[in-house]
Amino acid sequence: MTVQRAPGRPAGAFKRIFTDYGIVIALIAIIGFFSVMRPDTFPTIANFGSILQANASIMFIAFGLMLPLIVGHFDLSVAAMAGFGGVLATGLMSNGTVSQWPLAVLIVVVVAVVVGLINGFLVAYLNLNALVVTLGTQSVLFGAILWYSKGAVIYSGIPQAFKDLGQGRPLGIPLPFIFAVAVGIVLWYVLYFRPVGRRLYAIGGSRDAARLTGIKVDQLTVGAFVGGAVLAAIGGVLQVAQVGSAAPTSGSEFLLPAIAACFLGETSIRRGYYNVWGTMTAVVLVAAGTTGLFMLGAQTWVQPVFNGVVLIGAILAAKVGVLKTRARKARPRTPTAPPTPTVATVGVH
């Protein structure tokens, strides 16, 4: 007996691919569109390298925002932490307080740990609202930036070795992007393959349920804020290393792109979860979109508008996904008969 099986469901497979990797498809579409519109300037190695180099620091800041989001909290201070980290590192080297850039970066990391501990303690142990706490921290950090920089741009006395961190391109690949990928791989491994990662996601799913299973919710929440602050500060350090100076307005422009990247990344690759690769892809997508628009002659006000539209679109996409999931779970399940082959050919041998 020879049985010809019923045809499969390619439409369902395509739908799953589009749902799981929609952000990648959107990135390819954006690159394709602007490559056609500006074939001489957009699809070049120099342009792609510039996009990755200029936005690697945003990836770090988005990672810093992602960790508290995973445990269910919003940290509005990450951009200010990035700005203060960059200004502090640059100022320490510029005024001669430290002679070696690694020591300046280490001091920045220590300060970031302290800021993360304060935020985490107030949120986890005192049960204060994370938005309010981190909004206050943001204001304090922006004030600290103005105080430390005296309202002036810091650009003198910065070692070339420090600038090379942000400007180097080994094998033509921007060094800050290499750092971002390396950190992304570490985060991906910790979040997806280590018990601590599963516990962080469990806390974000239900703090009470996580506590009942023995997870140390408060300690891990503090850890998420500390990790987020450190990553954001490193992003700020890479930013000033790239441009070779630190401005007193540093940080304010980083928040919206980082938020947009986290929420857009949640809608794809590991759908419904804040994830590393979705966040990184979203950063590149937003950067490629704004770069392409500028090449078409868009004004500077287009960038924040584009970031805002992407953020709203990501939230809408996430909401639609939640509603579809609820509808699917609420749908009554009915037993189905086993499938019947479409054609059956019987032969006698």
Query: Could you tell me if residue 251 is inside a domain?
Result: yes
Instruction: State the CB neighbour count (10 A cutoff) for residue 308.
Output: 13
What pLDDT score was predicted for residue 303?
86
For residue 85, the number of C-alpha atoms closer than 13 Å in the C-beta half-sphere is: 35
Share of the chain above pLDDT 70, in %: 87
Flag whether pLDDT at 198 surpasses 60.
yes
What pLDDT score was predicted for residue 344?
44
What pLDDT score was predicted for residue 336?
52
Q: Which of 50, 11, 7 is nearest to 290 (CA)?
A: 50
Flag whether pLDDT at 15 surpasses 80.
no
Q: Which of 259, 219, 232 is nearest to 64 (CA)?
A: 232
Exposure b/e, 236-258, CB count within 10 A at least 16 = b? bbbbbbbbebbbbebbebbbbbb
99: Cβ contacts below 8 Å, ≥ 6 apart: 93
* Tally of domains within the chain: 1
**What is the arithmetic mean of pLDDT over 273-285?**
94
Query: Could you tell me if residue 1 is inside a domain?
Result: no
Dihedral sign (CA 244, 249, 252, 253): negative
pLDDT tens sequence across 240-273: 999 999 998 888 888 999 999 999 998 888 888 8
Query: Could you tell me if residue 239 is inside a domain?
Result: yes
End-to-end CA distance of the chain: 10
pLDDT tens sequence across 173-183: 999 999 999 99
What pLDDT score was predicted for residue 340?
52
Query: Could you tell me if residue 347 is inside a domain?
Result: no
**What is the arithmetic mean of pLDDT over 17-43?**
89
Pair of tokens at residue 38: 């500006």
Flag whether pLDDT at 236 surpasses 50.
yes
Q: Which of 218, 220, 224 is nearest to 125 (CA)?
A: 218
CATH number of the domain encompassing residue 202: 1.10.3470
Share of the chain above pLDDT 90, in %: 69
Query: Could you tell me if residue 210 is inside a domain?
Result: yes
112: Cβ contacts below 8 Å, ≥ 6 apart: 81, 85, 226, 229, 230, 232, 233
Weakest mean pLDDT among 13-27, 186-200, 331-345: 331-345
pLDDT tens sequence across 159-175: 999 999 999 999 889 99
Query: Could you tell me if residue 209 is inside a domain?
Result: yes
Compute the radius of gyration of the chain from its Cα atoms: 24
333 — pLDDT class (breaks 50, 70, 90) = low
pLDDT tens sequence across 51-82: 999 999 999 999 999 999 999 999 999 999 99
Print the domain residue range for 88.
25-320
Cα separation, 287 vs 159, in Å, equals 29
297 — pLDDT class (breaks 50, 70, 90) = very high
What secondary structure does DSSP assign to 230-284, as a single string? HHHHHHHHHHHHHHTSB-TTTTTTTHHHHHHHHHHHHTSSSTTS--HHHHHHHHH
**What is the arithmetic mean of pLDDT over 92-100?**
87
Query: Could you tell me if residue 221 is inside a domain?
Result: yes
244 phi and psi angles, rounded to 5 deg: 80, 15
Query: Could you tell me if residue 339 is inside a domain?
Result: no
